[in-house]
Amino acid sequence: IDEVLGQWTALLPFAAPSLWTLFAAFVLFRALDVAKPWPIRLVERSLPKGLGVMADDLLAGALAGALLFVLSLAQG
């Protein structure tokens, strides 16, 4: 459930994502979820077990979505 929620969170900035956007969001989300850079690791470790696991995926999704959104704006 947490992985699905994180993936959908990455797609929130896009009303009708293209196949490229879907793929890029998946790759960015998975990369952030696996690497767990700051602040994702901090969130996971700071919260109780189940909540930390869910929150780190939400944050990874939010960061992936924000990064992808900024990249899409830069491309025009």
pLDDT digits (tens, 9 = 90+) for 24-73: 999 999 999 999 999 999 999 999 989 999 999 999 999 999 999 999 99
Mean pLDDT on 7-17: 96
Length of the chain: 76
Amino acid at 46: S
Closest to 10 in 3D by CA, of 74, 53, 50, 70 = 70
Structural domain span for residue 52: 2-75
Structure confidence at residue 1 (pLDDT): 87
Domain count, the chain: 1
pTM for the structure as a whole: 0.93
Structure tokens at 24: 């890029």
